Amino acid sequence: MLALTGISTLVTNDITLERGKLGIVANAALVVSDDNKIAFAGEAANLPHEYKSSAIDLNGRAIIPGFVDSHTHLVFGGDRAEEFEARMSGKPYSAGGIRTTVAATRNSNNDALVANARRLANEALHTGTTTLETKSGYGLSVIDETRSLQVANAITSETTFLGAHVVPTDSQINEYVDLICGEMLDNCAPHAKWIDVFCDRGAFEVDHARAILQAGAKAGLGLRIHANQLQHGG
């Protein structure tokens, strides 16, 4: 059990408290049980007596809910330094950087991918992100998309299958869409909660995106979509 007092501002996000949209409680206390449930959150004056003797005084600090990051790519190899430099010099964005990362990811072993993903997840945690989703999308083959999701599941249960990130250089669009909707989905669906499609210039058009999402829904996955980042796709 963890009891905290001396909280100058406690942001609860509880609109039922009638303290504005953020549910802010001033001069607050907070108690977290041994099973990580909130046992008390409110004004310090109302803190139950049994918690007072062991409470830690935060001396006027604030407490806010952890950040939620709903779009990450933790599983990848290599880096995008060349793309970053090009964009800083004024060159337009293209999907070339994705394909560079695909090549590096395919050449990385699982231990390296897990270590890098854990490092990034820990970095996020230490800066206030307590919940995150992560996508595949840098394998773009049956084997590499599957192992990317297996690696992702070692970090978080909130995983998204993004085989439809871009078309890999060794495939044609129609045959790759068929692969995503067939063998790749069959292998990846057990390791994911959602399916995602990058529907935009240089990636997948609306008809292909629709087919992929329909296949994902049939496999029991929730639906997500990247769209209108580079242009209005319809």
Residue 159: per-residue pLDDT: 97
Give 173-214 pLDDT, tens digit per residue. 999 999 999 999 999 999 999 999 999 988 999 999 999 999
Closest residue by Cα to residue 1 from 29, 27, 38, 28: 38
Give 91-128 pLDDT, tens digit per residue. 776 656 888 899 999 999 999 999 999 999 999 999 99
User: Could you say which DSSP state residue 180 is in?
Assistant: I
**CB 40 within 8 Å of CB 70:** no
* E strand intervals along 134-232: 134-135, 159-164, 194-199, 222-227
> Comparing 97 with 172, which gets the higher pLDDT?
172
Cβ within 8 Å of residue 97, ≥6 positions away: 80, 82, 83
What domains are there in the chain, each with its CATH number?
2-65 (2.30.40.10), 69-227 (3.20.20.140)
Question: 102 — phi, psi (to 5°)?
Answer: -60, -45
Which pTM was predicted?
Answer: 0.84
